[in-house]
Structure 1
Amino acid sequence: MNGISRIDFNSIAGILLALAAIVGGQILEGGYIGSLLQLAAFIIVVGGTAGAVLLQSPIKVFINGIKMSVWVFFPPLRSPQTLIMQVIGWAHISRKEGLLALESHVQTVSDPLTKKGLQLLADGSKPEKLREALEIESFALESLQRQSAKIWEAAGGYSPTIGILGAVLGLIHVMENLSDPDRLGSGIAVAFVATVYGVGLANLVFLPVANKLKSIITDHMIMREMLMDGLVAIANGENPRLIESRLRGYFI
């Protein structure tokens, strides 16, 4: 159902605009970019957030969520028109040569759900059994994807608090050096950078990534529904033109 990924320039433009606004504002205020670059604060926020998310998530979900983050910039290319043409082609073949003729087309598709549906169709599965089998697999896949996307939403909830924790740790270090006034100003600045990282990552990275992934998952779900509807219609022996009209209704 999905083709080769292509770059999502909206995502790239969004992150660049956000970074430009923050860095530009810092410069306009007379600050230095270097003051925002603090490795210790970054490690506290990112490491602490990752640990908290890993604690609440099964390792399979956590790893899958990390892999899915690539979709933000390289989303799987969906092509409803291509899917409709495929389904209509299969419908014509089944009407002319019978459902068994579809077995030779099973290996021509790469999507696991499509391949399974075609095989069940060629095996002569009843329409209700065909839909049931595909719905179970589709539900399991959607459930995994949504759980995986939620790790980014969870990160968006944890990172501001971890940032505050980093700031407090930094202030503790400052308090330990009260006898050296020359180090107080820079020490306090470093402490509060952790808060900037926590809030910034939550609202500029983690939460937007979660919402973008949810949108992509919803699109995938609609494509799978369209596929199942088309295959069940073929199993019922419906007219290809009627099938095409129904499937086009998914994307108005």
Structure 2
Amino acid sequence: MDLATVIGIIVGLAFVTWGIISTGDIIMYLNLPSILIVLGGTISATFVAYPLAKVLEAMKIASKAFSNKIIESGEIIAKIIGLANTARKEGLLALEEAAEGIEDEFLQKGIMLIVDGTDPELVRSLLETELSFIEERHRQGQGIFETMGSLSPAFGMIGTLIGLINMLRTLDDPSTIGPSMAVALITTFYGSLLANLIFIPLANKLQLRSREEILRKEIMVEGLLSIQAGENPRIIEEKLKAFLPPKTRRDLQQNQEGVEA
């Protein structure tokens, strides 16, 4: 589990609650009709904007924002170098057996294309096409949460208008104006809180996760094509390290030196 996402949401709610308690009564901020208007309206409008299948798929994609099960780029490079050494010693056909122990379907598919003797340009085209569709699916999931982030404040305003209308109906009683105005503004509070603490941050986290996954798969594509071209494993390693930031390169080098020692 990605602690940053969970801690961010919990700490954010804690600080908001703390701020409410320090200046007033938190019970006044708990209003079921306001919750129904904002949350129900946001979810309903999302179903109107997107097909049901896309919304359900986005919920599955959202789990990546809470997941910490990620294969680091350094591990992928090490795995590709291992495949390159196998191909150099035993030939490309030996990669078929090595592919059976690989869990990543994208990498496994690329290895099988190489083993089958597919033309390098066709291998690149097939893998990059799959990359494009993966990126598009991720972008749709991000878009749904961005849409929810824009809808929730709008439904907050709708709730506020409903509250103001109810307040104006009882304007002849001055004692009800203050409490009615407070309830009317609570829906705006709920909408802004959901948008800025949940929906928009989740969309940003999913965008980051998507970029990381696409980078890992681009490393796989370049590595596989280099193996197919028969390049030296050391050259392949240096080529793939170019995808990594300097700190990650140093960590990878230190790990390799530790294994060799």
Cα-Cα RMSD = 1.7
Answer yes or no: is the 8 Å Cα contact 1:131–1:232 preserved in 2: yes
> How far is 1:147 from its partner?
1.1
> How far is 1:174 from its partner?
3.0
> How far is 1:16 from its partner?
2.5
> How far is 1:175 from its partner?
3.3
* Length-normalised TM-score, structure 1: 0.90
Cα deviation, 1:9-64, whole Å, max 9, x if unaligned, reads 222232233222221221221x1111111121111111111222222223332212
> How far is 1:70 from its partner?
2.0
Structure 2 CA distance, aligned partners of 1:11 and 1:96? 45
Equivalent in the alignment of 1:208: 201
2:9 to 7, 11, 15: 15
Answer yes or no: is the 8 Å Cα contact 1:8–1:72 preserved in 2: yes
Would you say how many aligned residue pairs link Structure 1 and Structure 2?
245
* Length-normalised TM-score, structure 2: 0.87
Structure 1 CA distance, aligned partners of 2:70 and 2:20? 38
Letter in 1 for 2:38: V
Letter in 1 for 2:14: A
Q: Percent identity?
A: 37
3-state SS of paired residue (1:78): coil
Equivalent in the alignment of 1:174: 167
Cα deviation, 1:88-112, whole Å, max 9, x if unaligned, reads 1111111222111111123212222
5 Å-filtered alignment, 1:231-246, equals 231-246=224-239
Letter in 1 for 2:211: T
5 Å-filtered alignment, 1:132-143, equals 132-143=125-136
Structure 1 CA distance, aligned partners of 2:123 and 2:194? 44
Structure 1 CA distance, aligned partners of 2:69 and 2:163? 42
Equivalent in the alignment of 2:143: 150
Structure 2 CA distance, aligned partners of 1:124 and 1:91? 16
Equivalent in the alignment of 2:110: 117
Structure 1 CA distance, aligned partners of 2:73 and 2:210? 15
Structure 2 CA distance, aligned partners of 1:251 and 1:165? 47
Say whether 1:105 aligns with 2:120: no
Deviates further, 237-246 or 43-52: 43-52
Answer yes or no: is the 8 Å Cα contact 1:88–1:240 preserved in 2: yes
> How far is 1:130 from its partner?
0.8
Deviates further, 104-113 or 38-47: 104-113
Answer yes or no: is the 8 Å Cα contact 2:93–2:115 preserved in 1: yes
Equivalent in the alignment of 1:87: 80
Structure 2 CA distance, aligned partners of 1:249 and 1:102? 25
Say whether 1:24 aligns with 2:25: no
Answer yes or no: is the 8 Å Cα contact 1:61–1:144 preserved in 2: no
Deviates further, 74-83 or 119-128: 74-83
Deviates further, 176-185 or 146-155: 176-185
> How far is 1:182 from its partner?
5.6
Structure 2 CA distance, aligned partners of 1:197 and 1:41? 8
Which runs of 5 or more residues in structure 2 are unaligned?
A: 246-261
Equivalent in the alignment of 1:4: none
